[in-house]
Amino acid sequence: MIRFLLRRIATMAVTLLIISALVFFIIKLPPGDFLTNQIAELRAQGESASIAKAEFLIRQYGLDRPAWQQYLVWLGVMPGPNGFSGLLQGDWGWSFEYDKPVVDVVGDALWLTLLVNFAVVIFIHVVAIPIAIYSATRQYSMGDYIATFIGYIGLATPSFLLALILLYYMNRWFGISIGGLYDAHYAGEPWTWDKIQSLLSHLVVPTVVIGLGGTAAMIRRMRANLLDELGKQYYVTAKAKGLGPTKALVKYPFRMSLNPFIADIGNLLPQLVSGSVLVSLVLSLPTVGPILLSALKSQDQFLAGFILMFVAVLTVVGMLVSDLLLAWLDPRIRMGGAR
């Protein structure tokens, strides 16, 4: 077990290293960077004071050095102008666009993103699993067809469109604004009970909007998985033992049909972060999606790089978690080959 964990952590480290290199060089691929673009713009306007500041920043962050050196400095394995100070040391860099350290820009957004996505994941599972069980056990019944139809609508509806529609009608019918994750006047306030309440009430619509597509997809997949398992012999055995239909279903085929979803946890997390960008923009949610988008557009390299690395870490950790969960839940994996 320990050996396995160590081996996995070593591969994770290597994977992350490769991802970091890819991320950095892809961000650097377009010519220039945020500061040189800004300097060019400022020159055109003749603002020498700001130019001086920008040039100071260029030196400060070593942007005048070759790209591979910048990469190593960013990573924290090569001394920059301020000595070793990179991701490995916990220094996430400076956002030129916001003129703040990256940590201050993403700070709250990171946790809110995780919160929204966690809510979405819960929503998807809570809604999708019962519907899937219903439609799998009553295959080709009226209820199955209705669930399937709603599922297809859910799959086909662009979530940002749904967000826009809800935004408009919620305001028109109930006079409430559903934009943002809390009422505007709480922005920048410390976390109080009122603010949390406001957060929770604002969470409902984004959760539903973001989760709808995932729910529909999950219903389809879960239904298919369950249908496969329902035909298996061990389910017949369970019934032949005299187990009631619900108990037999939940203990045997349902448990089996969960495996692919556990295996998918690693993919789920990053997908939700990057997948909800449009909705976040429309609903003006203070999550990292919109920040990432603007950072990529303006070549704010440290900010974009950090967010992408964050997603990468989520993926890799998610994979590890799902592997460990699978091993815990499925004895065939836990003891496979040990025969």
- Minimal distance, residue 230 CB to another protein, in Å: 10
- Minimal distance, residue 241 CB to another protein, in Å: 4
Nearest residue (CB) to another protein, 45 versus 233: 233
- Minimal distance, residue 227 CB to another protein, in Å: 12
The neighbouring-strand residues paired with 230 are none
- Minimal distance, residue 234 CB to another protein, in Å: 4
- Minimal distance, residue 323 CB to another protein, in Å: 9
Return d(Cα 9, Cα 91) in angstroms, integer. Answer: 22
Please give the single-letter amino acid code of residue 72: L
Cβ atoms of residues 304 and 27 within 8 Å: yes
Cβ atoms of residues 102 and 95 within 8 Å: yes
Provide the 8-state DSSP code for 180: S
CB neighbourhood size of 170 (10 A): 15
Nearest residue (CB) to another protein, 187 versus 236: 236
DSSP state string for 182-216? S-GGGTT----HHHHHHHHHHHHHHHHHHHHHHHH
Q: E strand or H helix at 244, and its extent? A: none
Instruction: Look up residue 323 and give its two tokens.
Output: 């592997």
- Minimal distance, residue 219 CB to another protein, in Å: 21
Nearest residue (CB) to another protein, 198 versus 257: 257
Which chain residues interact with another protein by CB under 8 A?
1, 3-4, 232-234, 236-245, 251-252, 255-256, 327, 329-339
Nearest residue (CB) to another protein, 255 versus 297: 255
Nearest residue (CB) to another protein, 31 versus 331: 331
Return d(Cα 336, Cα 339) in angstroms, integer. Answer: 7
Return d(Cα 105, Cα 34) in angstroms, integer. Answer: 16
Nearest residue (CB) to another protein, 217 versus 224: 224
Return d(Cα 153, Cα 272) in angstroms, integer. Answer: 20
Nearest residue (CB) to another protein, 44 versus 338: 338
Return d(Cα 48, Cα 128) in angstroms, integer. Answer: 59
- Minimal distance, residue 218 CB to another protein, in Å: 21
